[in-house]
Amino acid sequence: MISRHPRSIYATTIPLFGLVLLVGACSKKDAGHSSAAIPPPTVVVERIDQRTVPIYSEYVGQTRAEETVELRARVEGILQKVYFHEGTPVRKGQLLFTIDKRPFEANLQSAKATLAKSIADLAQAKQRTDVLKAQAELADAEATHSKTQQDLARVSPLAKEKAVTELISGTGKLKPTMRDDVIYHTTLPWISFTSFAHARTGGRGESIPRIVFGKITNSNERQVLPISVEVHHALMDGLHVGRFLEHVEKAFSEPESFIVGPT
């Protein structure tokens, strides 16, 4: 037991001696640094006042107009001027844009010129049509007159020989029957037709209107009455025939207004 105790003392003495040496070395090192001049630190001094500071808050948001309108031009053109700033309110009827009107004015003048030319062409066409119509009517009248003269020249010698009736020649006692208000009218209630042609004898009788009524038939829940009207174009035209057909239609729709009672 005695031999172990000194060994423990020796072991304890060595660490203490190392600690003393380490402390001594540190002291010498600190002494070397303290010998150099250390500059004083910079200190900022600010006076503090007590006051109310507003609190600011930052947010992310979007703006939107109460009413938005999509603008579309009715025509295409060059935009000359804008009378509003984007984002500003506008009033109803306010002028917003100006489009270059020169191309449209040129097109308008061109259209007016085309219209004037068309009107002039129409007037010329009507004039030519009137002239052609008058020429056709004159040629028809001349042909009728020539045919009448030929018939008269052919019938007159025969009338002298009593070979033809005096009615055809227009020289006998029956001449007053050839009045200007004569109309040939007939009704064929047993046949229906789409066209009708009368026999022609020439002479003055060619100018007498010829009217034929046919058979009334049912077609698609309607009653159809064929009517044939032949007139001389030198004396009347489609206007007079149209008026006659209007009176016929009115007579069928309102027969009581055309029925004449006994007097």
pLDDT tens-digit readout, 77-110: 888 888 888 778 888 888 888 888 888 888 889 9
pLDDT at 199: 76
Say whether 26 sits in a helix, a strand or coil: helix
Q: CA–CA separation, 4 vs 10, rounded Å? A: 10
Which of the two residues, 196 and 180, has the higher pLDDT score?
196
Tell me which residue of 214, 211, 212, 225 sits closest to 190, measured CA to CA. 214
pLDDT at 161: 58
Domain co-membership, 210 together with 154? no
Residue span of the structural domain in which 204 resides: 179-257
* 56 has a pLDDT exceeding 60: yes
Domain co-membership, 150 together with 203? no
Q: Is 212 a domain residue?
A: yes
Q: CA–CA separation, 235 vs 141, rounded Å? A: 10
Q: Are 215 and 192 in contact (CB under 8 A)?
A: yes
- The stretch 190-201 carries a mean pLDDT of 81
Percent of the chain clearing pLDDT 70 (strictly above): 74
Domain co-membership, 227 together with 205? yes
- We report the CATH number of the domain holding residue 218 as 3.30.559.10
**Mean pLDDT, rounded, of the chain:** 75
Domain co-membership, 162 together with 183? no
Assign 176 a pLDDT band (cuts: 50, 70, 90). Answer: very low
Could you report how far apart the first and last alpha carbons of the chain are, in Å?
Answer: 185
Q: Is 164 a domain residue?
A: yes
* 223 has a pLDDT exceeding 60: yes
Q: Are 216 and 223 in contact (CB under 8 A)?
A: yes
Domain count along the chain: 2
pLDDT at 75: 81
* 193 has a pLDDT exceeding 50: yes
